[in-house]
Each structure stands twice: as C-alpha cells, then as structure tokens.
Structure 1
Amino acid sequence: MSDEAVEKAVDDWMDDNRPNKDKDLSEYHRYTYSKFIFIMVCLAITVLVAGYAVSIGEYTISFTDTYVRIWEHITGNVTHDIDDAVIWNMRLPRVIGGILAGAALAVCGVSMQSMLKNPLADTYTTGISSGASLGATLAICAGVTVIGGDYSVVINAFLFSLVPMMMILSVSKMKNASVTTIIMAGIAVMYLFNACNTVLKLWATDEALANVYSWSVGSLTGLSWADVTVMSAFVIPGIIIIQMISGQLNKLMMGDDYAKTLGVNVEAFRLVCLLITSMVAASVVCFTGLIGFIGLVCPHVARMFIGSDNRLLLIASAAFGSALLLTADVIGRVIISPNTLQVGVVTAFIGAPVFLYLIVKNKKTGW
C-alpha cells in the first residue's frame, strides 16, 4: 500500500462525517469484547471443572459442597474435618498443579512460536521434554541420580531438561545462526535423547519399565503441596516476565531485521526468551511427566479468537491451557472409572488431529 493510500485511509477514519463511522466503531468494539469473552469463558470453565475435579473420587463430595468446603477452609471455619482433609490434602494439589501446568505449557508454546516464528514449535521440538525423559529414565532404570531421596527422579528430570536448552543456546550464539538452525538443533537433540532412552529401556527390569512408562505418558497423580509450591516458584514469575516482554515478542514476530530497526537486540532477546521458557517448561515437566500438545494446540486455538498480539494472546493461552488440561484430566479419571487414563494420553488424542491439521495447512500457506 502506498503512502498516499495510507494517508487517505487515515483521513477517512478521522472524518466525523463519514457514513459508516458508527458501524465501524460497533464492529471494533464487538471484536474487542469477543477477545475478553473468550478469556472469561476459559476462566469460568477452569473454575467449574476444578470444582468437579475436587468432587470426584472414592470419597464422594457433592459439586456444590466443594466450593463451600474450600471457602470454609480459607475463612478458618471448618465444619467437616474429613471433607476438608480430602479436599485440601489429597485433591486440591492435583487441581492447582493442573492449572499451573496447563498455563505454563501454553505460555511456553506461545513464546517459542513467536520467538522462533514457527507454528509447530513447543517444548517437544526444542528437546526439553526428551531431556527430562532421559533424566527420569536414568534415575528409574539405571539408578543414576544427582541426589538421592524422594525427589531424585524429579531433580534428574529437571537438570537433564536444561541440557537441550544449553545446547540450543550454544548453537544460537554461532555466527549467522538462523531460526531454522535453532529449531533443527532442538530436533537433533530430541532424537539423540530418545535413542539414549531406548537403549536404557532395553536393559531395564519389568518394574522399571512400568515406572518409566507411567512417567513418560504424563500424569497429575500424586502431586503434593510441596510439588505445587516448587512449581509455582518457577511458573508464576516466568509467566509474568514473559507477559512483560510480550511487546518485544510482537516485534520479533515481524522478522529479525524489522525488530532490529525498532531497537531490539534480537540475539540477546532470543537467548533470554529461550532461557525463561525452558526453565518454566522444565519446572512443570519434571513433576508431571511428558504432557504433550498443550503447548502446541492452545496457542493456535487462542489465536483464532484473540489474534496474534502476544499481549493478549499469552493471557488467553494460559487461561485456555488451564481449562484444557483440567478437562483432559477429568476425562481421564471418569472415562474408564475406577481406573485412570493418564492426562498425557488424553491430550495426545486431542492434539494429534490438530497437529496434523497444522502440518497440512502450513504446506500451502505461511504462518
């Protein structure tokens, strides 16, 4: 569009006497409200599903009573000791952990897709998940741990999930390293770690294999308040920081050259984004195991309603990620009750068709 065309469009918009002014304003407000409606709907679903998730189990608590018991605990007026113990000590950590995990993985997906300008980027394509899997497999199958104790698997998974990040950061510092180079480095690391995992499993006992499988499919089972506290210490500050730099992410999405003209130190900024995103994703994966497709699906669904402005997209993706992960967890708990289908399996059933759709779509069009 020429400069004259742009100036004419601006003049037409500023003209108070133009015939379609009220209609244009109405459409703009409707478009703006739809974004906030999407976010509010996601938050409402999260609250409702959380209440239902707390109510189901061997010890039944009614849907409405869950909110009453939670309010009583918060206000210090506990009237049902058993209900309070079941909700706060056994079920609520799982729900809060699911909310944090869903929001974190979705935000990490938005961040990676924006800074790498690739619609298929998430914790899997950058090797973070495969690194965590290798750390957990080493601890379970070979007994190789950094520290002993109850958190040996968690610590191993966390530390090894940072190894791909360090390798990608090293590659990104190379002269003239492109975004494609960074993505391919992540994929190469993923295949290498997956091969190491396979070798370890060949030598593992049946019990160790069962434990590795249970961890690798992803689950919210067994989360405690201690786990949620540690997760929160990384997830909440990480999401806040990513939200604060969302304007810079918008500039980076327009291309490295364009971002540089706006004063962005592209290389340094991308390193910081990779570091923060990797730390947030690693803090989730080491506790929940490998929960796939949340970081891939949620940003794209949210983008359909919100658009590509990261300032709102990050918030919307976090809200949708929490709602989706909690819903998937509830589906896994009730669909084959009294047995449980791990949440990672449910999200894979949801995410795989979307992933295939994205591949087919991007074969013909850019992102």
Structure 2
Amino acid sequence: MENKLTDYDANRKKNIIFLLALFLILILSSLASLKFGTAKFSLSDFFLGLLGKAHDDKINLIMINNRLPRILTSIVSGAGLGLTGAILQVILQNNLASASTIGVSQGASFGAALAIVVFNLSGDFQIPLLSFLGSIIVASFILALSKFNNIKAQGIVLAGVAISAMLAGATTLIQYFADEVQLASLVYWTFGDLGSTGYKDILIIFLVVVFICIYAIFHRWDYNALLAGDNTAISLGLNVDRLVIENTVLCCLAASIIVSNIGLVNFIGLIAPHIVKMFVGNNYVYVIPGSILSGSIILLLSDLVSRMALSPVILPIGAITSFLGGPIFLYLLLKERR
C-alpha cells in the first residue's frame, strides 16, 4: 500500500512539473513572438514598447497595436482549440477526434461563409451565430453516428472527412457567386489570419474559452469516468447523455467563435491533447490544463514560423498548422488501426 502511495505521489509530482514546464515554454514563446518579426529593435526598446514608452512611437504602435493583439489571439484561440480537442476525444471516445478532423470547424467555416456572402452580414454576433449553427449541425450528425450507430473511430474520422469535403465544395460554390470584396475577405479568412482581431474580439474569445475551461475543470472526474465506458460512468451516477450534449454544445460554441474570428486553423485540437497524453497519460485532471497550455504554445510557435519563414511575407497560419498536423494525423490513424 505504501509503495502505491509513493508511486502516486511521484507520478503526481512528475505531472505537475510537466505542466509547469509547459507554462514556462508558453511564457518564453510569447516573449519570442513579441520580440521577433519584420521590424527589428533593441531589447530595451522591446520592453519599453510593451509599456508604450519607447522613444520611437513606431515601436509603440507595432507592439501595442500589432504584435500584442496577435500574441493574445494565439494564446486564447490555441487554448480553446486544444481544450475542445481533448473534450471531443473523451465524449466521442475517439483519440482522432478534434474540431477539424470531424468537420466541426468546417461547419463553422461554412456558416460564416453563408453569413458573409449570402446574407451579407457583418455584425459582431451575426457571423458567429451562423458559424455556431453550422458547427452544431455537423457535431449533431457526428454524435448520432458515434452514439446510436456504433461506428468505430476510423469510421467517425472518415465521416468527418466526407463532411469536410462536402462543406469545402459548398464554400467554394459560395465563393464563386461572391463579389470582389466578399471574395477577397472570404479567401483570406479561410487561410487563417491572426492579425485581424482587435482587443474587443480577443475579449469575446477569452470569455468563451475561460467559461469552457472552468466547466471542464469542474467535470474533470466525469471525463475520467467516461474513459472507462458509458456503462461504468452510468453506474457511478453520471448522466452520460446530458454530459455529452452539454460538452458538444460548448465545443461547438468555442470552435465557432474562434473560426469566425481567425478563420480555419486545423489540427491544433488533435495535436495538443496527444502531446500531453504522452507525458501524463489519460488522467483528465492533468490533460485539461496541459491541452490548454500546449494548444496555446503550438499556435504561438506556428504563428512565429509563419511570420519569420519568408519575412516580410506572412504565410497563412492555416497552412503551417496543416503541414504540422497532417503527418501526425496519419501516424495516429495508423496507430489506431494497429
């Protein structure tokens, strides 16, 4: 008994150290993203620029109006995508699930395209609302396949691929009938863009992500129960159907808010939880904060690569994350089959 307690304490300390290491990496990644870019300036100007007190007003503008909003957008959006991936994987009991792999992000993207081109909407809540409706329809379909038709993990992913392809085709048709202004806006938006959000947009994303984070932390033991199977969770007094529906709605809300603000950014929700699970296992007490931190780190570093690879040209962030996530997705798919 004492040996088991010793192992538990050692494992707990290891997991806490891992989370602290992720937090440190996040801080360093944020500082690196703030420091490096097209504009070059000294270390002293860098710190003064953060406070808006650099001698050159241009540096203050770059730091406060350009880089800082971009970094904050990366942090909150990456956190939301990483957490939604972790939640979708446990409620669908599918390690390949994420907002992008099962078509939820594509549903949100299609809804936003309808809002921009067909209905010519531009309000703060109108585009996210249609984006949310698009994602919830896709999620409901995937949930029905998972829960009521007993389709296995690979089948769910293939269904997600099929839905994504159909929605991509529908979005292309919408682009075909768009005028020049709408087309330019929509095409640039579908590439993924972290530089178009203001502090008001960041605050909205932040509030939604914080709410879902708090919800997930309070339900961390429920997720652990789900890992043992629905029957075991029900025997422990858990209302599985309600938990699945609540989490699906919350994940779609987060995905739609993020997609409607920064466009399509794929695979963050798939990669982040798997990186964490490699170190802490499937215990959602640690998977939840780990996925939040690792999602932010991945999006931050991807954005840094997109800005520095062909500077001063900024590459589409969606392309960078797809290059990163595609091979990992194929590896996980083959691993699931084995």
TM class by shorter chain equals 0.7 to 0.9
Q: 1:37 aligns with which of 12, 17, 20?
A: 17
Distance in 1, matches of 2:31 and 2:44, equals: 8
In the alignment, which of 336, 343, 346 is matched to residue 320 of structure 2? 346
How many Å apart are 1:28 and its aligned residue?
A: 4.9
Cα distance between partner residues in 1 of 2:47 and 2:17:
24
Which residue in 2 is equivalent to 1:144?
119
Q: Distance in 1 between matches of 2:211 and 2:119?
A: 31
1:262 aligned to 2:236?
yes
For residues 227-281 of structure 1, the C-alpha deviation after alignment (integer angstroms, 9 at most, x for no partner) is 1011112111111111211111111121111111000111111001101111112
**In the alignment, what sits opposite 1:7?**
none
How do residues 194-233 of structure 1 correspond to structure 2 at under 5 angstroms? 194-204=168-178, 208-233=182-207
Question: What is the SS of the residue equivalent to 2:99?
Answer: coil
Distance 1:40 1:65, change over 3 A: farther
Q: Quick one: which of 158, 165, 169 aligns to 2:136?
A: 165
Taking the TM superposition and a 5 Å limit, the aligned residue runs for 1:38-117 are 38-63=18-43, 65-70=45-50, 72=51, 78=53, 80=55, 82=57, 83-117=59-93
Change (3 A) 1:356 1:196: same
Using a 3 Å threshold, how does the CA distance of structure 1 residues 112 and 199 change in structure 2: closer, same or farther? same
Distance in 1 of aligned mates of 2:7 and 2:47: 38
Normalization by structure 1: what TM-score? 0.81
Q: Which residues of 2 match residues 215-254 of structure 1 at below 5 A?
A: 215-254=189-228
- Please state whether the residue corresponding to 1:180 is helix, strand or coil: coil
Counterparts of 2:270 and 2:44, CA distance in 1: 34
State whether residues 132 and 257 of structure 2, in contact with CA within 8 Å, keep that contact through their aligned partners in structure 1: no
Q: Percent identity?
A: 29
1:227 partner amino acid:
D
Amino acid at match of 1:50: S
How far the C-alpha of 1:132 sits from its partner, in A, is 2.2
- For 1:135 and 1:25, locate their aligned partners in 2 and report how far apart those are by CA, in whole Å: 51
- Return the alpha-carbon distance in structure 1 between the equivalents of residues 75 and 220 of structure 2: 21
Equivalent-residue separation in structure 2 for 1:246 and 1:286 (angstroms): 28
Q: Which residue number in structure 2 is paired with residue 291 of structure 1? A: 265
How many Å apart are 1:224 and its aligned residue? 1.0
State the structure with more CA Rg.
1
**How far off is 1:306 after superposition?**
1.1
Q: Show the counterpart of 2:334.
A: 360
Residue segments in structure 2 that go unaligned for 5+ positions in a row? none
Between 252-261 and 31-40, the greater mean CA deviation after superposition: 31-40
The answer to whether the Cα contact below 8 Å between 1:129 and 1:161 also exists between their aligned partners in 2 is: no
The structure whose RCO (Cα within 8 Å, separation 6+) is larger is 2
Q: CA RMSD in A?
A: 2.9
Matched with 2:98 is: 122
Question: What 5-or-longer segments of structure 1 have no aligned partner?
Answer: 1-12, 15-20
Tell me the distance in 2 between the aligned counterparts of 1:265 and 1:272: 11
Q: Is 235-244 or 178-187 further displaced after alignment?
A: 178-187
Q: What's the offset of the Cα at 1:126?
A: 3.8
Alpha-carbon displacement from aligned partner over 1:318-352 (angstroms, at most 9, x marks no partner): 11111111011001100100101122111111111
With 242-251 and 195-204 compared, the bigger mean Cα shift is at 195-204
Distance 1:261 1:178 in 2: 22
CA distance in 1, matches of 2:141, 2:187: 31
* Corresponding position of 1:5: none
Contact 2:102/2:142 (8 A) holds in 1: no
How many residues align? The count is 333
Deviation at 1:68, TM superposition (A): 5.0
Q: Deviations over 1:197-225 (max 9, x none)?
A: 13223444566544333211212112211
Please give the residue correspondences for 1:321-332 in structure 2 after superposition, counting only pairs within 5 Å: 321-332=295-306
